[in-house]
Amino acid sequence: MQLKRVVVTGLGAITPLGNSVQEYWANLVAGVSGAARITRFDPSKFKTQFACEVKGFNPEDYFDRKEARKLDPFCHYGIAAADQAVRDSGINAESVDNTRVGVIWGSGIGGLDTFQQECYAYAKGDGTPRFNPFFIPKMIADICSGHISMRFGFHGPNFTTVSACASSTNALIDAFTYIRLGKANAIVTGGSEAAVNEAGIGGFNACQAMSTRNDTPQTASRPYDQTRDGFVLGEGAGALVLEELEHALARGAKIYCEVVGGGMSADAHHITAPHPEGLGAALVMRNALEDAEMKPEDIDYINTHGTSTPLGDVAELKAIVKIFGEHAYNLNISATKSMTGHLLGAAGAIEAIATVLAVQTGTIPPTINHETPDPDVDPKLNLTFNKAQQRTVNAAISNTFGFGGHNAAAVFKKFSS
């Protein structure tokens, strides 16, 4: 069968660097860090006392007070980002066939804050089981996609992918696949996460996964630097409207770029650590390139998973050199988590937005906080350290990898008719 072409027609973002796509992108390009001491609770007893929190977000800009109370923060962020993306795309249930517009979302954890608060309340009580009737609907990871469909009246495919930090890239790939197979005309996709709370910080501290650079949180996320000591937890949401090309052209939609491929793989190695030689990372990029029917030399930029962990950063770069060979040294590579922190299940969504805008604008956002070269990092690689760079970006890859060995990569290309 003839596969449909898929384009990006809308973007939305709630991030530690800003609560709109424009603010998020401007701060990415400027190399701004979103990290600071945690404000949501007293973090003084925790090993890590900082995070990349969303700042200045008011749920009542998007919901009335009663509705907002029925939603976990991961839904606040997700629905708000989706609202922006849908408005940006100009798509609505009245002007298109709403039975062919879907929502495919991603979240690694879902309503962790709700779960924590309900458990706190029960533990403080007299043992009588008094739980909020919205406890389960607020907590479950799939609920955001349901709310988005109800908000806009979209009756097409609707579900949520859960693959840890690869969740929203998996969601995007699924949305791309449904559209190119002709099963939908448009899909709102992306992901959201809100795990900056005691359970989230304490849990990742117990895994020894996060940085403990409490004295200088803004410099704590430092991918590829020899002194990196773990990731910085972030929160927020990213949303993209993917649309079948002819459908988009017929309604006069603006087009950011084309989605041309997606790859998935498993490390099959360890519950939290990557394969030391980047086996799964290499496989997922190879699969993505094959799906896109592109050669390694066709790629100009890679937005890496780049979390700032000692093992993960090096394994991913080994995989890039393995797949791209000598062309690896012609690429721009950057890790935007150095600025946003790690948004877990929402990471792929906001990094996809950064990749889309790099393709559209020819601007490569930097990897900030690099000070000390790591002898295990190939010095010939252009990791776009500390300052944005300009170049033509005809095609780019966005990588995301998750606990459990889940790997996903999406390929974006300049649109041409």
Q: Which residues are catalytic?
A: 165, 305, 342
Residue 65 CB neighbour total at 10 angstroms: 8
The residue type found at 43 is P
The residue type found at 184 is A
Q: Which residues contact 74 (CB under 8 A, 6 or more apart)?
A: 107, 109, 110, 111, 112, 113, 144, 192, 193, 194, 237
* Strand-strand pairing, 186-193 and 395-402: unpaired
Q: Which residues contact 415 (CB under 8 A, 6 or more apart)?
A: 7, 255, 256, 257, 258
User: Tokens standing for 190?
Assistant: 């992306």
Give the Cα-Cα-Cα angle 157, 179, 14 (nearest 5 degrees).
Answer: 70
Instruction: Find where tokens 């012609």 sit.
Output: 330
> Read out DSSP for 60-94?
GGTS-HHHHTTS-HHHHHHHHHHHHHHHHHT--TT
Q: State how far the Cα of 320 lies from the Cα of 314, in Å rounded to an integer.
A: 10
